[in-house]
């Protein structure tokens, strides 16, 4: 018998659940933190009906939300139609060691803490909530689209969102914590946390795609999946705010450059991101950092560069340009915005309801922290 044999450690299975509406880098960062606490991450995603009952209407449909979560690089398994109230039974059913949630309280429609049962059972852990973004804030940004926020002249290098007036956002987000104009400050640490950190192998086929990737959605995800299938290493160029604004018009982008880049980096099909890539594919893009073998683009019309030239002229000349058929091409960033605008009154009411609910959750959270502090002081 080998005395050096050791027992194989049982993998630690983590549970996270949520709505994951308009899956953004804040969601991804929570999933990243949860995955670091164990080995296998199971994510429960609530149905449209459950969310409508406890929170209000969703922007993205449940199948779209399931797919968006499944594409996150830290997620191992998705459980559709997860209950809004997290029970010990659901954790046992999926062989979960403990549940993870952000350091803020989430409540049912009746004010009950969604995680009270698992807290009482000692199966609850917390991760740090990502500052500066929420689905509610993104909906608020879209509700302001008709106000032409980009037409207020942007200074060079300014965030595309700096033109939002915080009072305007407040009119749609009254009482909602952290739901103001984006003050997201990117750090090298966060970018490193989201990065794969690997280089292409010597014989890897490098594929390059680029775009705005605003309000990162399943249409983008399916495109990136198909692009990755063309090679071994996928590099994604994300255009800066000024470029997107100049090409797409006065109201774009909704998310700033680093918000969009982090959303792309969180996708499991992506190996590397060029932050602030040029609109036209240049010699530097093709050969400076990586030797690009394929440049791919969706089979949709491409706007010319500001000088009227074809943005993909160079890869076309070299015979490395490929068009990708995307079955989700009907889902676009503008299509998501249209969902909000067409149902404006419904979503404005959602914002107001969310504001009132958030105020109650904030009070509950403050009371809970006060009680914990009192207990700690007495010990």
Given a cut of 80, whether residue 172 has pLDDT beyond it is no
From CA 159, how far away is CA 213, in angstroms rounded?
16
Helices (H), the chain: 25-36, 48-54, 62-70, 88-93, 116-120, 135-143, 166-172, 188-194, 218-228, 241-248, 257-265, 283-287, 313-317, 333-342, 344-378
- pLDDT score for 196: 76
Q: 296 pLDDT band (50/70/90 cuts)?
A: very high
From CA 302, how far away is CA 297, in angstroms rounded?
9
- pLDDT score for 173: 38
Tokens 């090679």 appear where?
A: 231
Given a cut of 60, whether residue 193 has pLDDT beyond it is yes
Given a cut of 90, whether residue 39 has pLDDT beyond it is yes
Show the tokens assigned to 1.
């018998």
- pLDDT score for 350: 59
The CA-to-CA distance between both ends of the chain, in Å, stands at 50
Backbone phi and psi for residue 49, each to the nearest 5 degrees, phi listed first? -65, -45
- pLDDT score for 345: 66
Given a cut of 60, whether residue 156 has pLDDT beyond it is no
Tokens 């932050």 appear where?
A: 275
Give the model confidence (pLDDT) of 257-295 as tens digits. 999 999 999 999 999 999 999 999 999 999 999 999 999
- 92 or 370, greater pLDDT: 92
Which H helix or E strand runs over 250?
none
Among 263, 250, 330, which residue's Cα sits nearest to residue 298? 330
Average pLDDT over residues 293-318: 94
Given a cut of 70, whether residue 171 has pLDDT beyond it is no
From CA 252, how far away is CA 343, in angstroms rounded?
20
Average pLDDT over residues 306-318: 96
Using DSSP's 3-state secondary structure scheme, residue 273 falls into strand
From CA 85, how far away is CA 81, in angstroms rounded?
12
- The domains found in the chain, sorted by start residue, are 13-130 (3.40.50.620), 188-333 (3.40.50.620)
Give the model confidence (pLDDT) of 66-75 as tens digits. 999 999 999 9
Give the model confidence (pLDDT) of 198-242 as tens digits. 899 999 999 999 999 999 999 999 999 999 999 999 999 999 999
Q: What is the mean pLDDT of the chain?
A: 83
- pLDDT score for 362: 61
- pLDDT score for 181: 38
C-alpha distances (whole Å) from 224 to each of 211, 217, 229, 326, 334 are 11, 11, 9, 10, 19
Q: 170 pLDDT band (50/70/90 cuts)?
A: very low
Given a cut of 80, whether residue 80 has pLDDT beyond it is yes
- 188 or 350, greater pLDDT: 188
Given a cut of 80, whether residue 166 has pLDDT beyond it is no
Q: 358 pLDDT band (50/70/90 cuts)?
A: low
Given a cut of 80, whether residue 158 has pLDDT beyond it is no
Average pLDDT over residues 142-155: 53
Among 182, 144, 109, which residue's Cα sits nearest to residue 353? 109
Contact 5, 93 (CB under 8 A): no
The share of the chain scoring above pLDDT 70, in percent, equals: 77
- 134 or 275, greater pLDDT: 275
- pLDDT score for 142: 78
Q: Determine which of 223-237, 247-261, 325-339, 356-370 has the lowest per-residue pLDDT on average.
A: 356-370
Show the tokens assigned to 344.
């404006």
Show the tokens assigned to 253.
């982008």
Average pLDDT over residues 149-177: 39
């Amino acid at each position: 018998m080998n005395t050096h044999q050791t027992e194989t450690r049982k993998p630690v299975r983590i549970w996270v659940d949520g709505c994951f509406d308009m899956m953004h880098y804040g969601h991804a960062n929570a999933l990243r933190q949860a995955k670091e606490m164990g080995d296998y991450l199971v994510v429960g995603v609530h149905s449209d009906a459950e969310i409508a009952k406890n929170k209000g209407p969703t922007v993205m449909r449940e199948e779209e939300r399931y797919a968006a979560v499944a594409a996150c690089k830290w997620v191992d398994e998705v459980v559709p139609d997860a209950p809004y109230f997290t029970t010990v039974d659901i954790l046992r059913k999926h062989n979960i060691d403990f549940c993870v949630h952000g350091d803020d309280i989430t409540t049912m429609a009746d004010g009950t803490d969604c995680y009270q049962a698992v807290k009482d059972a000692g199966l609850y852990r917390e991760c740090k909530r990502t500052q500066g973004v929420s689905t509610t804030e993104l909906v608020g940004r879209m509700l302001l689209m008709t106000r032409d926020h980009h037409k207020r002249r942007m200074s060079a290098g300014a965030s595309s969102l700096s033109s939002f007036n915080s009072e305007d956002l407040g009119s749609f987000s009254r009482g909602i914590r952290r739901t103001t104009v984006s003050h997201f400050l990117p750090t090298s640490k966060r970018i490193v946390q989201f990065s794969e950190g690997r280089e292409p192998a010597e014989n890897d086929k490098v594929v390059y795609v680029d775009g705005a990737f605003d309000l990162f959605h399943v249409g983008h995800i399916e495109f990136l999946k198909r692009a990755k299938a063309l090679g071994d290493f996928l590099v994604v160029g994300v255009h800066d705010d000024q470029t997107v604004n100049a090409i797409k018009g006065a109201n774009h982008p909704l998310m700033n450059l680093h918000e969009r880049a982090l959303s792309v980096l969180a996708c499991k099909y992506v190996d590397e991101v060029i932050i602030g890539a040029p609109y036209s594919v240049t010699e530097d893009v093709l050969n400076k950092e990586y030797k690009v073998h394929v440049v791919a683009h969706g089979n949709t019309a491409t706007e010319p560069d500001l000088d009227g030239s074809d943005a993909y002229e160079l890869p076309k000349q070299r015979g490395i340009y490929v068009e990708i058929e995307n079955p989700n091409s009907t889902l676009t960033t503008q299509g998501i915005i249209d969902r909000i605008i067409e149902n404006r009154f419904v979503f404005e009411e959602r914002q107001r309801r969310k504001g009132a609910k958030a105020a109650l959750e904030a009070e509950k959270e403050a009371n809970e922290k006060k009680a914990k502090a009192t207990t700690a002081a007495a010990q």
